[in-house]
Amino acid sequence: MSEPRLEVDLEAFRHNVRLLSELVAPARTMLAVKANAYGHGLVPLAKAALESGADSLAVLEVPAALAVRRAGITAQVFAWLHGPETDFVSAIEFDVDLGVSALWQLELIVAAPKGKPARIHLKVDTGLHRNGASPAEWPALVSAAVAAEHEGSVVVEALWSHLADASPEDDAEALARFHEAVAVAAALGCRPPLLHLAASSAGIREPEARLGLVRFGIAAYGISPFDDQSGARLGLRPVMAMRAPVSSLLDGVATVGLGSADGIQVPAIGKAQVAIRGRRYPILALDVDTLTVDVAHSNIAVGDDVTIFGPGDAGEATAEEWAAWGETIGDEIVARASERLPRVYLG
């Protein structure tokens, strides 16, 4: 009998990365592999991305960037979420590009003992208010970076920001603010060769936001960043499938060894359906580690494979459909898939 598992279709992922990188060229593609590659597995997805059109990787934090280096990956890796304990010494030693949002981060980077300059990307906030220097803080951050560059302590590789995945109008306003910040930096003598701003949503629908590089995340995993357009419509292929066998069967009720602890969304229950032998059946109840399915009047047998979500081409729901059932976003469906489940890599 098969086991509860996550199947990760690397061929689908490569297809998506190729499609997206061709869409935005000549802008470069940076692939976001944060959160364990949105639950898919950091190293296999990082390697597949670099084989198929991405030329750099984005993680949240320095430890994940160092894990990428330990896997033998030499491509550009960008990390931008730092705390006072962040190991900047190792980050610089292993050529991790560092996002810098605040003076205190720059000061720690400048003070870190190092044999070469740190590669930094200065971040300005353009309305998301998550991190990034405010327009008021920006000139001081830029001036300090220019001074540190003159001393040979850092190289400013890029100026960047992040969009809120809001409306095209909000994105246009954020883009205008970004260009203002770029002009402020230029007036202070900071003119790095690279500007980046867009993630999946703006990368796909707003050519003027692509600038030098797009940081693609969710779209590369085959999930649409838009509510009103499916990944399939965009030509994307879902990458993750969650499956497990029917472990027991009693009076038309099948039990499956997957539950809420595996990342299955409680709010989706009542609407959610799973697929067995190409047909959909409703979930009756969800427990921490099991769920039950109404398979009355079917020929389902113990050991039959149950697909919770998958590519959507054999009757099953996609992660996007689960997101709609759970009133959440597709990121939450795949990235919450439990670490406990083995990842089986296909293609």
Ligand X SMILES: *Cc1c(COP(=O)(O)O)cnc(C)c1O
Q: How far is the CB of 253 from ligand X (least distance, A)?
A: 38
Q: Measuring CA to CA, how many Å separate 305 from each of 47, 175, 337, 340? A: 29, 47, 18, 19
Q: How far is the CB of 13 from ligand X (least distance, A)?
A: 14
Q: How far is the CB of 330 from ligand X (least distance, A)?
A: 9
Residue nearest to ligand X (CB): 217
Q: How far is the CB of 185 from ligand X (least distance, A)?
A: 19
Nearer to ligand X, 68 or 286 (CB): 68
Q: How far is the CB of 20 from ligand X (least distance, A)?
A: 9
Nearer to ligand X, 133 or 199 (CB): 199
Nearer to ligand X, 31 or 306 (CB): 31
Contact residues: ligand X, CB under 6 A: 32, 34, 58, 162, 165, 199-200, 215-219, 225
Q: How far is the CB of 241 from ligand X (least distance, A)?
A: 19
d(CA 164, CA 142): 23
Nearer to ligand X, 294 or 332 (CB): 332
Nearer to ligand X, 223 or 256 (CB): 223
Nearer to ligand X, 119 or 162 (CB): 162
